[in-house]
């Protein structure tokens, strides 16, 4: 097995940028020594833009990212979209070592990013956009019912058609308010040419994010075992978390500004 080591730049908060070591092994990427320290002025604990590392097996060529600019995480070599225990898939992943610790005890969080499924692939079959110890963002069912969030042992599904698009860039965002028990999960969608809109509301009575498994990674585009791959491209993944209240919940205006920043 050939091991290629590269430099990856992980942006944390508004101004913190840390150079980390990435080990790409058999088509997987792993941030092996990331120290995650959010900025005091922002609740952002993770930002992956896939721009500053050198050429890797899991990065598109220049122009492969959102709006035809920059780079994106390329997981199109996956065996299929997602998988299950009887018929697991296989594919790449990008992991942030110990990243789940940044979510432990969070009373609120927002996860946001972009994805583009491979041609002919409807996002489905439990494929992961993000997987952490107590939080998962995934596409529900083999038929592709929509985008789901799980927190601790609870989950919520948004069946809006915006999340079931194939071969086009989709902007997604999910906010969670653990101080509430109902209507505390909001789903947002947009595209390169369409503004962000609220497409779903649901409830997860899970309270703060659990602290168990804090040593586990945050994995993008798969689970840590590698058998629930998202077959497509992923770009500009951002995560905010707040352990003291609801300051990590981004509103529609803030999300639209992010979409414009990425797409224009």
Nearby residues of 86 by Cβ (< 8 Å), 6 or more positions away: none
Whether the per-residue pLDDT at 110 is higher than 50: the answer is yes
pLDDT in tens, 239-255: 999 999 999 999 999 99
Using DSSP, state whether 165 is helix, strand or coil: coil
Assigned architecture for domain 4-34+44-263 = Sandwich (2.60)
Supply the pLDDT for residue 27. 44
pLDDT in tens, 184-217: 999 999 999 999 999 999 999 999 999 999 999 9
Question: pTM of the entire structure?
Answer: 0.88
Nearest-angstrom CA–CA distance, 123 and 139: 6
Nearest-angstrom CA–CA distance, 60 and 112: 20
Whether the per-residue pLDDT at 33 is higher than 80: the answer is no
Nearby residues of 3 by Cβ (< 8 Å), 6 or more positions away: 23, 24, 25
The domain spans of the chain are: 4-34+44-263
Higher pLDDT, 42 or 170: 170
């Amino acid at each position: 097995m050939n091991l290629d080591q590269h430099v990856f730049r992980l942006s944390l908060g508004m101004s913190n940028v840390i150079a980390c070591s990435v080990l790409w092994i058999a088509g997987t990427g792993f941030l092996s020594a990331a120290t995650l320290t959010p900025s005091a002025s922002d609740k952002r604990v993770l930002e992956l833009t896939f721009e500053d590392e050198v050429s890797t097996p899991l990065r598109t060529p220049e122009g492969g990212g959102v709006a035809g600019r920059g780079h994106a995480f390329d997981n199109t070599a996956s065996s299929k979209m997602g998988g299950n225990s009887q018929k697991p898939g296989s594919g790449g992943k990008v992991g942030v070592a110990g990243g789940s610790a940044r979510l432990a005890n969070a009373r609120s969080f927002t996860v946001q990013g972009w994805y583009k499924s491979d041609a002919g692939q409807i996002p489905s079959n439990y494929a992961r956009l993000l997987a952490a110890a107590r939080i998962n963002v995934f596409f529900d069912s083999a038929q592709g019912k929509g985008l789901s969030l799980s927190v601790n042992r609870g989950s919520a599904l948004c069946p809006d058609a915006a999340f079931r698009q194939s071969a086009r860039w989709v902007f997604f965002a999910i906010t969670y308010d653990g101080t509430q028990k109902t209507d505390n999960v909001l789903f947002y969608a947009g595209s390169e040419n369409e503004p962000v809109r609220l497409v779903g509301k649901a409830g997860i009575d899970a309270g703060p994010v659990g602290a168990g498994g804090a040593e586990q990674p945050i994995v993008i585009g798969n689970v840590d075992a590698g058998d629930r791959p998202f077959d497509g491209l992923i770009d500009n993944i951002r995560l905010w978390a707040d352990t003291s209240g609801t300051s990590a919940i981004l509103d529609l205006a803030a999300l639209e500004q992010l979409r414009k920043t990425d797409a224009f």
